[in-house]
Structure formats: structure tokens, C-alpha cells
């Protein structure tokens, strides 16, 4: 099982505010869609709620929502009631990557689990007034490469850079 995180952060590691994204960057959204296409996307219930109904479930990938509410239903998505239960269900998955797609609570639990071995982090060259953040992590545990960047243009008011982090699975600090 390959477990990856995909996230976009501002200079302060902010990822969202008022249960929404704080920027509109179509080419980062395109990167997200292309990278996760055909794979499994795991998200927290608040993240699911924040996606406009016409865009969910994300097409061409298996959608998974985590909630502690046993009555919760998400049309077009599989619901699990713990991250552990969810990752166990995909333990033998060989062809597809399990992408953890946020938000903040789910990123933190996934990183703490030690099972994440890859991260795609888009770093946006701007600061927003976030209320939700990507957790701190020890860069020394990871190898990092820049896999692309994007200048400001008509459709993108901020520049951003795509990073790919890797580490051996089950790293125990």
C-alpha cells in the first residue's frame, strides 16, 4: 500500500479558512486532479462538506470520507469511521495509491500514523489569514525534490511551486 498526502499550503502552512480554500489557482487544481486520477482519495467529513455538491464525489477516483458519525452518508463515497479502519481496508492495495486529501485533522492523523511515504506539497508564495493548518513535520526525515513551478499570470494571482517528498514507510521517530 502506497499512502500519499496531497496539499497546498501558504507561507504559514495555512490550508483553509471558514471550511473553505483561500485561493483560486486552476493549475494547482489541475495538478491535484491529474495526480489523484484513478486512485483513492481519503478526506475528512468537513473537507467533503466544503466541496460544492456538483464537484463531488471527485470523478474517476474512489472517494472515501472519514466521520465518527455512524449515521452519516456521502453519496458516491465510501464512509469509514476511523483512519485505521480505512487504511486496513486498503492494506493489500497494490495498483492504486491512497491519497490523503485533507483537511487539517486528517493530515495530522495520517502523518502521525507513520504510514505516509510520499507527499505532494504545493507551496503558494503568499500569506492568507488561515484558521486551519498543515501539521509541522521534520524535513530531515524526508527526501525532497521540486517537480514544477508556476509564475503569476492572468488566472493565477500568486506564484507556487510543486514539491514531492518521500520517505520509507513506517518511519518511527
Residues 151-170 that bind ligand NAP (CB under 6 A): none
Can you tell me which of 42, 64, 102, 116 binds ligand NAP, judged by CB under 6 A? 102
Asked whether the beta carbons of 43 and 101 are under 8 A apart, the reply is yes
Stretch of 66-74, 90-98, 137-145, 159-167 lying at the interface with ligand NAP (CB under 6 A) = 66-74
Which residue lies nearer to ligand NAP by CB, 84 or 95? 84
Instruction: State the Cα angle at 109 between 17 and 80, rounded to 5°.
Output: 95
Asked whether the beta carbons of 2 and 98 are under 8 A apart, the reply is yes
CA dihedral 35, 37, 41, 46 (to 10 degrees): 80
- Give the shortest CB-77-to-ligand NAP separation in angstroms: 13
Asked whether the beta carbons of 118 and 110 are under 8 A apart, the reply is no
Can you tell me which of 3, 4, 8, 87 binds ligand NAP, judged by CB under 6 A? 8
Binding positions for ligand NAP, rule: CB under 6 A: 7-8, 15-16, 19-21, 44-47, 50, 66-69, 72, 81-83, 101-106, 109, 132
Amino acid at each position: 500500500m502506497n499512502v500519499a498526502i496531497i496539499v497546498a499550503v501558504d507561507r504559514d502552512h495555512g490550508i483553509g479558512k471558514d471550511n473553505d480554500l483561500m485561493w483560486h489557482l486552476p493549475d494547482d487544481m489541475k495538478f491535484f486532479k491529474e495526480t489523484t486520477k484513478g486512485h483513492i482519495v481519503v478526506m475528512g467529513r468537513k473537507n467533503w462538506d466544503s466541496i460544492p455538491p456538483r464537484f463531488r464525489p471527485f470523478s474517476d477516483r474512489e472517494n472515501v470520507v472519514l466521520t465518527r458519525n455512524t449515521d452519516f452518508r456521502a453519496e458516491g463515497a465510501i464512509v469509514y469511521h476511523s483512519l485505521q479502519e480505512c487504511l486496513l481496508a486498503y492494506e493489500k492495495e497494490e495498483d492504486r495509491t491512497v491519497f490523503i486529501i485533507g483537511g487539517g485533522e486528517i493530515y495530522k492523523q495520517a502523518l502521525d500514523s507513520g504510514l505516509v511515504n510520499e507527499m505532494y506539497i504545493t507551496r503558494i508564495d503568499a500569506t492568507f489569514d488561515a484558521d486551519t493548518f498543515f501539521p509541522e513535520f521534520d524535513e530531515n526525515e524526508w527526501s525532497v525534490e521540486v517537480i514544477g513551478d508556476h509564475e503569476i499570470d492572468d488566472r493565477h494571482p500568486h506564484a507556487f511551486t510543486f514539491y514531492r517528498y518521500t520517505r520509507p514507510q513506517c518511519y518511527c521517530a
